[in-house]
Amino acid sequence: MGLINQEDANDQKPLAAKWFKSAGKNAVTRVTKIKLSSSGDWIIIECEHCVALLSAASKAGKSFWAFAIQLEGTLKVLVLSYQKGKLGWDLNPGEETTEWSVDLDDEVILNDLHDDFSVGGSNGSGTFTLLTLEHMAASPAASNPSTRKRTGTK
């Protein structure tokens, strides 16, 4: 299995491992969409250049999905990079920000890099299982209210 079929048959993207073989180990690509497969067995991480699959039942899959459904508002992009190991890839926050939208009814998370984006949707060896919203926030102080001091005045 080397290609993932998209809605449009002409818009097929290679699996991440195959893409990294041709693009090189230093290549990175930005995540545009995260969704559950129709069976609910797989988390599909769609990127600009490829698609990565993660078992939804795995420890990493459960951890990542719990994180992903919180991606709402202006946060950093997620980037897929090569990582030696079982999966062959890893996810980390990128430098630029994007607008994220979660639609739990359709089990889809989009950002404004994806063509279908519209605002208003309602084993853990990889570092992506440790992602937090604080890592994704553009400003750590703005995303962590516990660091603000309360003075009792407005």
The distance from CA 149 to its chain's CA centroid, rounded to whole angstroms, is 32
Average pLDDT of the residues of the chain: 79
Q: Which of 18-27, 85-94, 102-111, 138-147 holds the top average pLDDT?
A: 18-27
DSSP summary character for residue 2: -
Confirm if 82 and 102 have CB atoms less than 8 A apart: no
- On the question of pLDDT at 140 being above 50, the answer is no
Which residues is 45 bridged to in the sheet?
A: 34, 52
pLDDT at residue 117, rounded to an integer: 52
Per-residue confidence at 146, pLDDT binned at 50, 70, 90? Answer: very low
Show the tokens assigned to 49: 């250049």
Q: In angstroms, how far is the first alpha carbon of the chain from the final one?
A: 59
pLDDT at residue 116, rounded to an integer: 62
Per-residue confidence at 139, pLDDT binned at 50, 70, 90? Answer: low
- Per-residue pLDDT tens digits for 2-55: 445 545 555 689 999 999 999 999 999 999 999 999 999 999 999 999 999 999
* Angstrom distance (rounded) from CA 142 to CA 17: 36
What percent of the chain has a predicted confidence (pLDDT) above 90?
Answer: 55
Tell me, yes or no, if the pTM score tops 0.85: no
- On the question of pLDDT at 121 being above 90, the answer is no
Neighbours of 2 (CB within 10 A): 9
Domain ranges of the chain: 3-147
Alpha carbon of 13 to those of 3, 6, 10, 52, 133: distances in Å? Answer: 6, 8, 9, 10, 28
Task: Sort strands 51-55 and 42-47 into parallel, antiparallel or unpaired.
Answer: antiparallel
